[in-house]
Amino acid sequence: MSYEAPLRDMQFVLYELLKGDEVLPALPGFEEASRDIMDAIINEGARLTQNVIEPTNAPGDREGCHYDPESKSVTTPQGFKEAYQQFAEGGWTGMSAPVEYGGQGMPHLLNTVAEEMMCSANLSLGMYPGLTHGAVNALLGYGTDEQKDYFLPRLISGEWSGTMCLTEPQCGTDLGLIRTKAEPQADGSYAVSGTKIWITGGEHDLTDNIVHLVLAKLPDAPKGSKGISLFLVPKFLEDGSRNSAFCGGLEHKMGIKGSATCVMNFEEARGWLIGEPNKGLQAMFVMMNSARIMVGIQGLGIGEAAYQVSRDFAKDRLQSRSLAGPQAPDQAADPIIVHPDVRRMLLRQKATIEGCRALAYYTVMQLDISQHSDDEDARERADDMVQLLTPVVKAFLTDEGFFCANDGLQLMGGSGFTQDWPLEQFVRDARITRIYEGTNGIQALDLVGRKMGMNGGRSVKRFFGMVEGFLKENADAPYADQVKAASEKLQRATMWLMQNGMSDREQAGAAATPYLRLFALTTVAFFWSRMALVAQQQLDGGTTESDFYQSKIRTGQFFIDRILPQADALLAEIESGKDSLMALTAEQF
C-alpha cells in the first residue's frame, strides 16, 4: 500500500475554504500564482513524492545512516542521494525563495503543500531540505549583502544545505547556558569552538557543502541568553579547503533513522557573524518559527500516511461479522471497517487530519499575507494570527500526527506491530516531532506566556473576533452552536489565566498544556464549521461530487460529537489550578 497525495482534500482547503487562488495572486510578487500554475505544481509534487520519494522510506529506515570515524563522514541510505537530486533539480528546494537569489518566488502556502506530501512520503529525507529553508530565512533577514549573494543561491538551488546548531550536551531549551565560543580574528572572521548535539543534517553526502548556523558567545558577552550571537560556519570554505567543523558521531534513535542526527565538534572553525553581536537569538528565532510550522506539517504528513494505510487495511481485512448482521454474506467474514470501534479510530484520524490541514494552511496563508500585502493593517492582522497560532500548529499537529499513527497501528492489530507494514515506522518517526524545535510543553508555555499577552492581548482578541464574526454572519452554519460554546469555554479559560497566571507563573505553567489543546480544538471546530458550510453550499447547488461533500459534513459532525467534548474536561483541568500538581515534595514521587 503506497502513499497517494490527497489532492482533492488539499484543493478543497486551498481554493474552496481559503480562496487561495483569489487571495494569493492579489499579493504583490505572487501575481503568477494562478490556480492553473498552483495545480500544475501540486500535481508534479504528488508525482515526485509518490514515485521517487516514498519508495526510499522503508528501505532508508531499515538501513539508516552510516558514520565513518576515520573520515568523520556520513553516508545516507541507498537511494536518498538520487531522490534528493531529483527533488533539487525540480526546483523544490527554492519554491518559495526570492527570485533574485534563484528561487521561484511562489507563496509559502504552496511550499507547505509540497512539504506535507514530502513528509508523508519520507519524513527523514524531507528533513534535509526542510532546515535549509530556515537557514535561508535567517540569512534573508539578518545576513549582509555579501553573505546573501554568496550563500543564498547555493542554498536555494539545493546545491548546499543548512543546519541549526543550538543544543549542547549541558543545555537544550535554556540556551543561555551554552559554552560554544567565538573568538574574533584579524580578518573579520571568528574562530568558533564547541560541541553541538542533535544536529539534523550536520554531516551527509547529499550536497556539496553544508552551511552551519551556530549559536556561540563572544569573549565579552553578557551572561545568559542576552549574550548569544549567531555565526555562519560552512563545512567547506570559499577556497575549497575543509573547515574544522566535524561530525563526532551519529545519535542512535528511535525513529527518523534516515535523517543524520549528528554530534558536531567545532575546533576553531572559521565563521562569520550574522546580524548584530549578542543578538543571535533574534536571528535564530526566524529559523525556529519557520521550523516550528514545518514540524507541525510533519505531524500532518505522518498522520495522513498512517490514515491511508490503516483505512485501506480496514477495507480489506476480514474479521468477524458486523454487529448489525452480515455485510458481505458472500465472504467468510466482513471487512473490519464495519465495526464501530474500527470506525472510531479511522474517523478520529480523518477528522483531525482534515481539520489540522485547514488550520495549518490558514496559518501559512496568513504568513504570506503578513510578508507580502501592501496593506499595513492587513499585514499586522495576519502577523498577529501567525504569532498566535504557530505554537498551536506545532504542538497540536504533532500530537495528533502521533495519535493517528498510534491509532492506525492499533486498528491493524498484530499486523501493525510488524515491519511488514509501515505503521510501526510511522509511530517511531512521528514521536520526535513532539519533542524537537521546542517540545510541545514549551509551545504551550510560549502560547500562555508570550503570545496570549502580546501587544496587550491584541492577537487573541482578534482571534475571538474572527470566530464571533463568522458565527454572526453564518448563524445557520453547521455546528454553529457547538463552536460558539467551545469559544466561550476558551474565553473563560483565557480570563482565568489572565486573572491567575499573571500573578503566579506556576498557575500559568500548570494550565499551559490543557489551554493549548483547548485552543486547538476550538480552532479546528471553527474550521470544521466553515468547511461544512462550504460543503453544504455545494450540495445545495447540485454538485456532481455529492459523496465528497457529504463526507466533509459527516466527518465534521464526528469531530463535533466525539472529539470537541474534550473541551469540558480541559476547562475543568485549567480551572483546578496548580495545587494538586505542585503539592508533592520531590521525595514523594
Active-site residue set: 437
Locate 26 and state its grid cell: 492579489
Give the count of beta carbons closer than 10 Å to the beta carbon of residue 332: 8
Question: How many Cα atoms sit within 13 Å of 38 on the Cβ side?
Answer: 27
Per-residue buried b or exposed e for 398-424, using 16+ beta carbons within 10 Å of the residue's own CB: bbbbbbbbbbbbbbbeeebeeeebbbb
The contacts of residue 144 (CB under 8 Å, 6+ apart) are: none
Contact 386, 362 (CB under 8 A): no
Lookup: cell for 503: 500573578
Taking CA atoms, 60 is separated from 81, 93, 257, 260, 467, in Å, by 11, 21, 7, 11, 44
Q: Could you tell me the sign of the dihedral formed by the alpha carbons of 559, 563, 565, 570, in that order?
A: negative
Q: Which residues neighbour 43 within 8 Å (Cβ) at sequence distance 6 or greater?
A: 7
Give dist(CA 135, CA 161) in Å, integer: 8
Which triple of cell numbers denotes residue 502? 499573571
Residue positions counted in the chain? 589
Q: What is the helix (H) or strand (E) element at residue 67, kind and residue range?
A: strand 66-68
C-alpha 477/C-alpha 467 separation (Å) is 12
- Identify residue 63 by its one-letter amino acid code: E
**Rounded distance between C-alpha atoms, residue 269 and residue 181, angstroms:** 10
Alpha helical stretches, state H, 501-575: 505-540, 546-558, 566-575
Phi/psi at 160 (5° precision): -120, 165
Grid coordinates standing for 73?
563522514
- Nearest-angstrom CA–CA distance, 40 and 36: 6
Write out the three cell numbers for 569.
474536561
**Contact indicator for 500, 507 with CB cutoff of 8 Å:** yes
Q: What are phi and psi of 269, to 5 degrees?
A: -70, 145
Contacts of 572 (CB under 8 A, 6+ apart): none
The whole-angstrom separation of Cα 248 and Cα 265 is 6
Query: How wide is the angle at C-alpha 537 spanned by C-alphas 481 and 359, nearest 5°?
Result: 60
Q: How far apart are CA 21 and CA 405, in angstroms?
A: 32
CA neighbor of 159 nearest in space, from 150, 172, 171: 150
Type of residue at 231: F
Would you give the DSSP letter of residue 453? T
Helix (H) or strand (E) holding 582: helix 579-582
Given the C-alpha cell 483531525, which residue does it identify? 352
Identify whether the C-beta of residue 275 lies closer than 8 Å to the C-beta of residue 282. Answer: yes
